[in-house]
Amino acid sequence: MKKTAAAMALAVVLAGCRAKDVPEEKRLKIGVSVYDSYDTFISELMSDFNAAVAGSENISLEINNAAKSQQTQNKQTEAMITGGCDVICINLVDRTSPRKIIDLAQKNNVPVIFFNRELVEEDLMQWEELYYIGADAEQSGVMQGELAAEAFQDMSLDKNGDGIIQYVILEGEVNHQDAIVRTEKCVDTLIEKGYQVDKIASITANWSRSQAQSRISVLIESNQSEIELIMGNNDDMALGAIDAYKASGTDRADWPVIVGIDGTADGLKAVADGEMYGTVFNDQKGQAQAMAALAVELASQKNTSKSEREKYIRLPYRKVTKDNIRDYLD
């Protein structure tokens, strides 16, 4: 996979941290809590994070699964802090409820890196040692709309020939910043590109492949054969739609255009196999490396002064189709 300049720079920073910034005598402890370790994107991000800190004898890593409970995550945070973590990385369960975590961290002077599930800016500004690593949700929605617009340059995909794109959106969790913004921006972009669109359904499938499959299966069974485009807020849900079409026995030529977001291993494979028209790459490796570099820096309290550090780090999204898929397959 090609690395962006930013990702390469971060990789270098991390390598630098490992080699010389961590004093030999001090063992650094990094604690992590993820909202759900069964989430495909998060589990891929965590394996990249593991890889980024692996190999350093001076770092010990503790990873907890909050299993979709904010209460559990609050308890885990308390345990990580009393257990001596120098820095904690939090993938919030409820991005509107970071208060307890922030209070605990501030009281004990333990920096926090929030990632992927974005808290509101007002909360991030509560204390100088709070940071966020992720990506710009709007960019992913716009890019997904652009991918769909590009696909429909071939008007034979307008199956009923009415000049209007009949579409379905598969939405992630209600209240997740990515679900809200992607849903809005992908459609806005299609319209800005001059397409007329007609929403058949907007279905919440909570980022889940199996939920998406069962919901799309119902649509197929209820004879919604007019669906021409399915936009999944993430790859897993787009893959669920593909599963539904396969299970229904619908001729491949009659499938709608399907687009996703993330570039997970299975998502990229579906693009390579021509089952998904395209996806928007959500740079989990870049995010993991940025988080590892910042965590090491915060834990060792070295280098830049607090006031010089960026509170937000956002890695850029990239469009992936069959034309550039080779750059993304290892």
Q: Rule CB under 6 A: say whether 117 interacts with ligand BGC.
A: yes
Token reading at 210: 């199996």
Q: Which of 17, 31, 33, 41 binds ligand BGC (CB under 6 A)?
A: 41
Q: Rule CB under 6 A: say whether 277 interacts with ligand BGC.
A: no
C-beta of 38 vs 162, nearer to ligand BGC: 38
Length of the chain: 330
Interatomic CA distance for residues 180 and 184, integer angstroms = 7
Q: Which of 234, 287, 289, 300 binds ligand BGC (CB under 6 A)?
A: 234
Which residue type, as a one-letter code, is found at position 168?
V
Stretch that binds ligand BGC, among 36-44, 50-58, 184-192, 212-220 (CB under 6 A): 36-44
Report in angstroms how near the CB of residue 219 gets to ligand BGC at its nearest.
Answer: 21
Rounded to an integer, what is the distance from CA 202 to the centroid of its chain?
Answer: 20
C-beta of 171 vs 262, nearer to ligand BGC: 262
Report in angstroms how near the CB of residue 237 gets to ligand BGC at its nearest.
Answer: 8
DSSP strand E in 73-158: where? 87-90, 112-115, 130-134
Whether residue 151 contacts residue 193, with contact meaning beta carbons closer than 8 Å, is answered with no
Q: Residues near 44 by Cβ (< 8 Å), separated by ≥ 6? A: 264, 265, 284
Q: Which of 114, 131, 152, 207 binds ligand BGC (CB under 6 A)?
A: 207
C-beta of 266 vs 275, nearer to ligand BGC: 266
Q: Which of 129, 146, 178, 266 binds ligand BGC (CB under 6 A)?
A: 178
Binding site for ligand BGC (CB under 6 A): 39, 41-42, 116-117, 176, 178, 207, 234, 261-262, 282
